[in-house]
Amino acid sequence: MGLACAVSAQAEETIRIGIPVGLSGANSVVAPSVVQASELAVDQINAKGGVLGRRLELVIADDGSGAQGAQRAYDSLVFQQKVDAIVAMETSAARNAGLPIVNRGKVPLIYTSFYEGRSCSPWMHINAWVPEQQVAPIVDQFMDEMGAKKFFLIGSDYAFGRGMLEFTREYVESKGGTVVGEEYLPMDGSDWTAIISQMRSASPDALITSTAGGAPNVTLTKQLRATGVDIPYGNYAIDEGTAATMGTDAEGIYIAASYITGIDSAANKAFLEALNAKFGAKAETPSELSVPQYEGILAYAAAVEKAGSTDAEKVVEALGEVTVDGPRGSITMNKQRHSPLTMYLGRVAADGSVEVIKSFPDVDPGEQCPQLAG
Amino acid sequence: MAILVLDILTTAAILFAVSAGLLIILGVMKLINFAHGAFLTVGGYMAYLNGAAGLSPWLSIPLAAGVGFLGGLVIERVIVRPLYDRPLDAILATWGLGIVIGQLITLGFGRGVQFAPNPISGTTELFGVDYSAYRLAVAVIAVLLVVALSALLKLTRFGLNARAVIMNERLARGLGIDSTRVRALTFGLGAALACAAGALITPLISVDPNMGLPWLVNSFMLVMVAGVSFPSLLVASLILGGAQVVVSTYANPILGGMTIVVAAALVLRISPKGFSRA
């Protein structure tokens, strides 16, 4: 009996953060880097004495990268584990399945994956990019610097792929350009022959693709290169790791990102060193998905500090006010629950590394959740 | 127009190369090899290993064929042969085998995407258009494959025995043909063809644990339509692959992805023997 009391007293002292993440399924390739980023953030905070004198503790749950798994993961985190907050890098399908549970359980949620935009909940903040922030750097580069007028868009047939390209089409047209073709292939499709031939006969000045990450992106890029396509090529789905292994096929691809490992700042250097010190040879390359996760946990810790408690409503209010100085720069989630971000336009070099061509400081996320102003 | 014709020809060539291994196993053994997709994947990983070892990318195809042949012989002896009298169980066993191979690959190489170097990159000019040099090379290889496989069936002792087993296995056995050996060699040959095809298509797709899966359904439909003959598999690949390219080009690539399955079902509805007697 005495032992049980001691255990529960100690359990109350730690602040528990739920991490639903796709350990299996489509996200399983990036999940290890997300878990490492979370562990690093918690270690660093605990090394400084925790928050309000309490230690942070992670509760990791597999969401299976999809809706069904996310329901189980959120149910378990919110109602069984009774976590104090959730910091989630996951697919849009998983987020949409988890949100009603978060709303019912009234738990602060920080969503740390880029997504198609306009997902709103009184309990959710988002510190990653939405189309408004991602599309402009690439399209502006192609139209203003390289004189492109006619665009061809290719994507995978799912919410994110279509959402990104629809936004791109509107943006290109609003700048006086034209979209001469917009084609999609199912997510498991691997034969892009007909689409590539259509694109070549439409003879566009520039190409922008928004496929699912991994295999579809690689098959499309390889088949494009095999047919000798060498117009300006912007890719929304490629990450640095894939670019590095793809070799010469990736050369010349333009990407826009809020995080590139080559960001030249003291905070980024310190982050990379800490990651390597903690995980050594097992350290995963940090990316646009794992770094916001790291910063999301720092943001939660700062918000608890500011609110003076883990009370959900007070923390949610504080989350929109605190600023995190992380690897991506100073970030505050103060624009209708979204964050103005510094976006980097990069180009893949011959050796697979990403050179930063330009940076666009504090790009505004636009109107995302007008009902949740502030 | 030239591009459309080349798209159709090269798509048909790829489909033929990918389906040939499935066809020969079905023809001789009356066995639908659901591990075919996994064999393709193994071929892709052989190309990756070949590239990682720094060998010429062209070597990946014979290397994959060799590994596939030996692996096929072992699998036939250990898994397929004990189930000859239970054809449905044998099909289920190949399905399970496909899952096991996929998981072993995931354990060994992870879920991520791997890369193999391309034997040829860039384009060549043909009929006044620049076209992918590698796709044209695949078309040439597919034609050579049709000739070689037809010659194997028509001109060699193994082919004669195999055709005898295809027509009437009991009678063939009665005539002193060692049908067990024919079956073993056939499974090895089918696995070799599948692995070689996996290595062959690697420059056009990504190498990952699921790379063979999308090809399994299409090859299955093509083989159903083609019956047991390599020339009619070529015809089926041209017609159904051509339909896929035309639908993708003029209607919608998402519909294009379903064209082969739907067209094959229609062909079988109208003519249950498919193209084999047409």
B147: CB partners within 8 A, 6+ apart: none
Whether residue B245 and residue A188 make contact (CB cut-off 8 A), yes or no, is no
The residues on B that touch A, with CB distances below 8 Å, are 3-4, 7, 10-11, 110-115, 117-118, 121-123, 130-135, 203-206, 208, 210-211, 213-214, 244-245, 248-249, 253-254, 256-257
pLDDT(A188) > 80: no
A156 touches chain B (CB under 8 A): no
Q: Which of the listed ranges A143-157, B197-211, B214-228 does the model predict with the highest average pLDDT?
A: A143-157
Q: 3-state DSSP helix/strand/coil percent for chain A, to nearest 5?
A: 45, 20, 30
Question: Is the confidence at residue A354, as pLDDT, over 70?
Answer: yes
Closest CA to B264 of B232, B231, B239: B239
Residue A365 predicted with pLDDT over 70: yes
Please indicate, yes or no, if residue B205 is contained in any of the structural domains. yes
Query: Across the interface, which of A29, A185, A191 has its CB nearest the CB of B254?
Result: A185
* Domain assignment present for B254: no
Parent domain of B189: 20-210
* A223 touching chain B per CB within 8 A: yes
Q: Indicate if the pLDDT at residue B3 is higher than 50.
A: yes
Chain A residues with beta carbon closer than 8 angstroms to that of B131: 227
How far apart CA A126 and CA A342 sit, in angstroms, is 15
CA atoms of A9 and A3, how far apart (whole Å): 10
Chain B contact for A285, CB < 8 A? Answer: no
Q: Which of A275, A254, A19, A3 is nearest to A151 (CA)?
A: A254
- Predicted confidence at residue A1, as pLDDT, reads 40
Smallest CA–CA distance from A23 into chain B, residue: B111
Which of A183, A227, A247 is the closest to B132 by Cβ?
A: A227
Over residues A276-302, the pLDDT tens digits come to: 999 998 888 898 889 999 999 999 999
Q: pLDDT by residue (tens digit) across B234-272? A: 989 999 999 989 888 888 888 888 888 898 888 888 887
What mean pLDDT do residues A209-236 have? 87
Per-residue confidence band for A6, with pLDDT thresholds at 50, 70 and 90: very low
Instruction: Respond yes or no on whether ipTM tops 0.90.
Output: no
Say yes or no to pLDDT of A11 above 50: no
Band (A235; pLDDT cuts 50, 70, 90): very high
Q: Residue range B67-75: average pLDDT?
A: 94
Query: For residue B131, what pLDDT band results from cuts at 50, 70 and 90?
Result: confident
For the residues A35-42, what does the mean pLDDT come to? 96
Residue A4 has pLDDT above 60, yes or no: no
Q: So what's the pLDDT on residue A373?
A: 67
Taking 3-state DSSP, the helix, strand and coil percentages for chain B, each rounded to the nearest 5, stand at 75, 5, 20
Question: Nearest CA of chain A to the CA of B194: how many Å?
Answer: 17
pLDDT tens profile A92-146: 889 999 999 999 999 999 999 998 888 999 999 999 999 999 999 999 999 999 9
Domain count, chain B: 1
**Would the pLDDT of A182 be above 90?**
yes
| Number of CB atoms found within 10 A of residue A229's CB | 18
Q: Do B253 and A227 touch (CB under 8 A)?
A: no
Buried b (16+ CB within 10 A) or exposed e, B142-155: beebbeebeeebee
Phi, psi at A215, each rounded to 5°: -55, -50
| Amino acid at site A262 | G
A188 contacts B213? CB cut-off 8 A: yes
Please indicate, yes or no, if residue B44 is contained in any of the structural domains.
yes
Q: Is A190 within 8 Å of B205 when comparing Cβ atoms? A: yes
Residue B32 Cα, gap to closest chain A Cα (Å) = 23
Residue B113 is predicted with a pLDDT of 79
Contact list, B254 vs chain A (CB under 8 Å):
157, 184-186
Residue B226 lies in a domain: no
Helix B133-155 / helix B157-167 crossing angle, nearest 10 deg? 80
Domain assignment of residue B13, yes or no: no
Give the whole-angstrom CA distance, residue A201 versus residue A196: 9
Mutation choice for B interface testing from A191, A195, A239 by most B CBs within 10 A = A191
Q: Any residues with CB less than 8 A from the CB of B64 and at least 6 apart, and which?
A: B42, B43, B46, B47, B50, B195, B196, B198, B199
Residue A175 CA: distances (Å) to CA of A149, A170, A204, A361? 9, 9, 16, 21
**Does B175 reside within a domain?**
yes
Closest CA to A117 of A167, A157, A182: A167
Maximum separation of any 2 CA atoms in chain A, in Å: 78
pLDDT in tens, A45-67: 999 999 999 999 999 999 988 88
Mean pLDDT calculated for residue range A321-342: 94
Instruction: Convert the pLDDT of each residue in A261-273 to its tens digit.
Output: 888 899 999 999 9
DSSP characters over B20-85: HHHHHHHHHH----TTHHHHHHHHHHHHHHHHHTT--GGGHHHHHHHHHHHHHHHHIIIIIGGGTT
Q: Is residue B222 included in any domain, yes or no?
A: no
Question: Which residues from chain A sit within 8 angstroms of residue B114, using beta carbons?
Answer: 245
User: What would the two tokens of residue A356 be?
Assistant: 């930063």
Residue B177 belongs to a domain: yes
Q: Which residue among B115, B132, B256 places its CB closest to the CB of A226?
A: B132
Query: Which among B3, B10, B253 is the nearest to A185, CB-wise?
Result: B253
